[in-house]
Structure 1
Amino acid sequence: MPTTILLTGANGFLGSHIARELLNRRYVVRALVRPGSNRKTLPDLPIEIVEGDLLHPADVLRASIGCKAVIHAAALAQVNPARNPQVWAVNKTGTENVLAAIKQADLKRLVYVGTANVFGFGTKEQPGNELTPYSGAVYGVDYMDSKVAATDLVRQAAYRDEVAAIMVHPTFLLGPLDSKPTSGAMLLAVAKKQLPGYPAGGKNYVHVRDAAIATVNALTMGRLGESYILGNENLTYQEAFTLMANVAGVSPPRFLLPPAAARLYAQFSDWLANIRGRVPTVNVPMAMIANDGHYFSSEKAVRELNLPQTPIREAIQDAYDWFLANGYLR
């Protein structure tokens, strides 16, 4: 009898790839999606759509009954504005509801999709890993703080043997099907020559398809109660923007944005947005993050979850080709 997996966030960037990977492996996919939500990334896929709200415990329980496991990929990944109670509601309360439904419906496994930002970052020479303490509280961003809280909830439930859970934590995702767009907005900005310069920091990048494969692998692989960073290449923004520009056939941003100047611009943007009653183009936490090097190691996930390591240039090419084919670069 086919195994049914409940997938939250199936219509998101990573979730849409997880859905496809589940189908490739002959799982039955049941997707919990909000009524009226954008399902552009799920056209004609043979999945069971269950409409409901992650914040309504009864909806989550109803979707869970009859499933064997849950991949909880739904999240509100908003950093602008930095503070938003809805971020906490979706990321922490939504996870509480998923945990409660798993216990009530007696599901066998949870794969919780977090973010690498719940760990401390390091340098290229000594990147952060799953044992590096969280260092993002200094930014004052509800997204990071709420994902730390949600991860702690899952970890505690696993340690108490209430839920058989594994936690996966993607870094910066690149690839096709980024319909919103989310992380692909950076590539679009480079391709459209909208960036005069590059920040001083950097980050870790991974092909979204690789992250989806490792996430589905976690249904049958990995150690319960453990976290796994899903990443690949550590690149400065200058290196990443140059790769993106080469793929797009444009010249890369040439000038380093000094950290002090980037922060000063963000402060001005915040001040102007407050006067106008709008969300700033760039806020101070975003500038602080861009000035730092968010570098991570994914050795553990490669070893224990068979995380693929597709070259990031290929991820950029796949994303660019999809954006081009779908009219984002006209």
Structure 2
Amino acid sequence: MRVFVTGAGGFVGAHTARALLRAGHELRLLVRDPQPVRAYFARHGHPLDDLVVGDMRDAETVRRGLAGCDAVVHAAALVSLDSRRSEEIYRNNVDGIQAVLGSACALGIERIVYVSSLSVLFQSGITQIDESTPLGRPREPYARSKRDCDEHVRRMQENGAPIQISYPSGVVGPDDPKLCESNGGIRSFVSMSLPITSSGFQFVDARDLAQAHRYMVENPVGHPQSGRFIVAGNYQSWRDLRALLERVTGRRAPAIHMPGVMLRAIGEAADMLRRLRPFESQISAEAMKYVTQWVPAVSDRILRAAQMRFRSSEETLADTIRWMSAAGHLESRFAGVLANASST
């Protein structure tokens, strides 16, 4: 099949595209900047020439790119916590849905995968997240845009559009084109500190998520409810995550012990300061709720359907830290024994 992929310059889109190429599919990529995308795929043994340069909101460019394609993976999204860009973030992500998925449906493409986020299902007071969990009500522009995009895509599903939705948790792993937010978090955990607080951290290996996306492209479903897949990976309490990091690196992982209520208060304070003087930071009220109140999400549906299993947390963390050290994203002293392994 020829698959049209958006977001291949980012972490999720790049790994998904590579999984599709390994499975023998032909790709056409929608990109903003072709040079780094070409370099990334050539570096990983997949020289690509079929690139469409443009913005995902440009419906005319998107329609030209979709011509002759059998399937679509929409993984592109604008990600920023800068409040000054809130309207841009919101409109970019919502308008991208209209242009990419709307155009694909209008052209009669019957294999469409939309990459959402597990964060759209998060809400206080629940004990488990699965495909039946209703959408939450996030406040931050990026999370709100993803939530509203998801609501729109669900309406399209209900009206008969052949769209499947994936809900990944924090995506980590090696071979990241730009060092995404989740991988940046892992780097901070090993080089600065991680919180020892309530709840824990759930993350999925980008290579496992890519396998799930390949399955979804190759196996369309009819009923909307059966076309929604949580791909959440493994859940670790913060204490267990610290122990894992120490085991794979062979060095002590710094940590800060802090009650959840205090971290949430810090997040609220950061939001107030951001309103007075905008700045970009991973600390926010919403983020601290994720850190301190996250509940495990269940991925049984995709694991059964695709007959797959997730890599162990230990393998994912070791591969990620080894890659960050080799790529220059992490000083070798923080990678511990993995720094030596990365040079062999």
TM over 0.5: yes
Of 115, 118, 131, 2:117 maps to 115
Aligned to 1:76: 78
Deviates more, 1:45-54 or 1:256-265: 256-265
Question: What corresponds to 1:146 in structure 2?
Answer: 145
Tell me the equivalent position of 1:158.
Answer: 157
Counterpart of 1:310?
A: 311
Residue 6 of structure 2: which of 5, 8, 28 is its match?
8
Residue of structure 2 aligned with 1:167, choices 162, 165, 168: 165
Q: What is the CA-CA distance between 1:13 and the residue it aligns to?
A: 0.6
How far apart, CA to CA, are the structure 1 residues paired with 2:202 and 2:125? 11
Q: CA offsets, 1:37-70, max 9 Å, x none? A: 8536433523321111001111111111110110
CA contact (8 A) 1:241 1:252 kept: yes
Partners of 2:165 and 2:229 within 8 A in 1:
yes
Question: CA distance change for structure 1 residues 216 and 237 in 2, over 3 Å: closer, same or farther?
Answer: same
Task: Quote how far apart the aligned CAs of 1:8 are.
Answer: 0.5
Closer/same/farther in 2, CA of residues 269 and 151 from structure 1, 3 Å limit: closer
Give the residue type in structure 2 aligned to 1:172. G
> Contact 2:201/2:236 (CA < 8 Å) preserved in 1?
yes
Residue correspondences, number: 323
Is 2:8–2:31's contact at 8 Å kept on the other side of the alignment? yes
Q: 1:28-43, aligned counterparts within 5 Å? A: 28-35=26-33, 38-39=36-37, 41-43=40-42
Deviations 1:220-272, CA, capped at 9 Å, x for gaps? 22533220001222212232233223323321234421123223333444455
Kept in 1, the 8 Å contact 2:234–2:313? The answer is yes
Deviations 1:128-156 (A, max 9, x none): 10101223x2x412222222221222222
Deviation larger for 274-283 or 197-206: 274-283
Distance 1:281 1:96, change over 3 A: closer
Q: Give the Å deviation of 1:7.
A: 0.4
Paired AA for residue 120 in structure 2: V
| d(CA) in 2 for partners of 1:150, 1:273 | 25
What's the C-alpha RMSD, in Å, of the aligned pairs?
Answer: 2.5
What are the within-5 Å matches in structure 2 for residues 20-99 of structure 1?
20-35=18-33, 38-39=36-37, 41-44=40-43, 45-47=46-48, 48-79=50-81, 81=83, 84-99=86-101
Map of 1:243 onto structure 2: 244
Q: Distance in 2 between matches of 1:229 and 1:84?
A: 27
**Superposition deviation, residue 275 in structure 1:** 4.9
Render the CA deviation track for 1:74-101: whole Å, top value 9, x for unaligned.
1123345497122222321101111222
* Conserved 8 A contact 2:113-2:216: yes
Please give the alpha-carbon distance, in whole angstroms, between the structure 2 residues aligned to 1:258 and 1:130.
30
Equivalent residue letter for 2:297: F
Shift in CA distance, 132/179, structure 1 to aligned 2, threshold 3 Å: same
| Aligned pairs (5 A) from 1:275-294 | 275-280=276-281, 282-294=283-295
Q: Secondary structure at the match of 2:149?
A: helix
| Greater mean alpha carbon deviation, residues 26-35 or residues 301-310 | 301-310
**8 Å Cα contact 1:7-1:30 kept in structure 2:** yes
Deviation larger for 26-35 or 280-289: 280-289
Q: Secondary structure at the match of 1:54?
A: coil
The alignment partner of 1:218 has SS state of helix
Q: Say whether the 8 Å CA contact 1:269–1:282 is kept in structure 2.
A: yes
CA positional deviation for 1:22: 0.8
1:9-38 Cα shifts (integer Å, max 9, x gaps): 011111111111111111001110113685
The answer to whether the 8 Å contact 2:199/2:293 transfers is: yes
Q: Which amino acid aligns with 1:310?
A: R
Distance 1:196 1:131, change over 3 A: closer
Q: Is the 8 A contact 2:17 2:27 kept in 1?
A: yes
Question: In 2 relative to 1, CA 112–277 (structure 1 residues): closer, same or farther, beyond 3 Å?
Answer: closer
Q: Hey, what's the Cα distance between the residues in 2 that align with 1:24 and 1:188?
A: 29
Q: Is the partner of 2:42 in helix, strand or coil? A: coil
Give the secondary structure class of the aligned counterpart of 1:219. helix
Q: 1:246 to 1:78 in 2, by over 3 A?
A: farther
Contact 1:17–1:212 (CA under 8 A) maintained in structure 2: yes
**What TM-score do you get using the length of structure 2 for normalisation?**
0.85
Distance 1:82 1:128 in 2: 32
Assess, with a 3 A threshold, how the Cα gap between structure 1 residues 303 and 82 changes in structure 2: closer, same or farther.
farther
* TM-score, normalised relative to structure 1: 0.88
